[in-house]
Amino acid sequence: MKSIVITGASSGIGHATAEVFLDAGWRVGLIARRADRLDALADRYDTAVPLPADVTDPTAMAAAFDAFGQLDVLFNNAGLFGPTATIDAVDLDDWAQVMQVNIGGMFIAARLAFAKMRAQDPQGGRIINNGSLSAHVPRPNSVCYTTTKHAVTGLTKTLSLDGRPFGIACGQIDIGNAETDLLAQLKKTQPGTETMDVQNVARSVLHMAQLPAGANIQFMTVMATNMPYIGRG
């Protein structure tokens, strides 16, 4: 049975992706802070493994990865949008929180997954980072989020390069306007925003994860068809 750890698994893209992998017969490690939501998912699936942890807590994350065992794939998904404001109106504590979760948490999870995949027998695995269209072009007033998503692209490229000797592939999925609670908040300030079903994202992650070891989707963009990404100015 193939195995995957998903961070941010209690809601949104992480939760939807966990359900798709569980339905496909995978063993799924569920990482998030809200243990009750992870337990609710595990009550429905025998192959769901709740691993409650804060992605920014290295000790809790290490314990979660140790408890899960053999690992084929990490979906490095947890993140937050942060304040919607121009840079001069962003509080430094808010900036630090977004950096800590979106970059610090992703680094911690990738580090643990890389070490496990390098040491396990058979060696290797796959890391899929959740990027964003903001890794390419920003929304207005999104300096914290956009900065982190550009950094995720650097992490993806470095992991791809450093993972080659150990059979560790890394790819990035850049998502545009999947229907989640996070996007619902954004739509309040940007009415008329074009969206798509979050299931499209979940199935795309599954496709990336199911590729044979000799193939990798380095970057995938999945987005609402009519959102103004191409031609932004």
Domains (range + CATH), the chain:
3-223 (3.40.50.720)
Q: To the nearest 10°, report the CA torsion of 101, 98, 107, 76.
A: 60
Mind telling me the catalytic residues? 145
Nearest to 106 by CA among 153, 36, 165, 39: 153
Prediction pTM value: 0.95
Per-residue model confidence as pLDDT tens for the chain (233 residues): 999 999 999 999 999 999 999 999 999 999 999 999 999 999 999 999 999 999 999 999 999 999 999 999 999 999 999 999 999 999 999 999 999 999 999 999 999 999 999 999 999 999 999 999 999 998 889 999 999 999 999 999 999 999 999 999 999 999 999 988 777 766 776 777 888 999 999 999 999 999 999 999 999 999 999 888 887 54
Neighbour-count burial of 94, counting CB atoms closer than 10 A to its CB (0-12 exposed, 13-18 middle, 19+ buried): middle
* The pLDDT of residue 233: 45
Do residues 153 and 172 lie in contact, with contact meaning Cβ atoms separated by under 8 Å? yes
221 forms beta bridges with: 174
Q: How far apart are CA 159 and CA 118, in angstroms?
A: 12
Exposed / middle / buried, residue 44 (Cβ in 10 Å: 0-12, 13-18, 19+): exposed
Q: What is the pLDDT of residue 229?
A: 84
Task: Name the packing angle between helices 143-163 and 106-119 (round to 10°).
Answer: 10
Question: For residue 232, what pLDDT is reported?
Answer: 52
Polymer length in residues for the chain: 233
State how far the Cα of 197 lies from the Cα of 220, in Å rounded to an integer: 17
The closest of 53, 12, 59 to 29, measured between CA atoms, is 53
**pLDDT in the model for residue 32:** 98
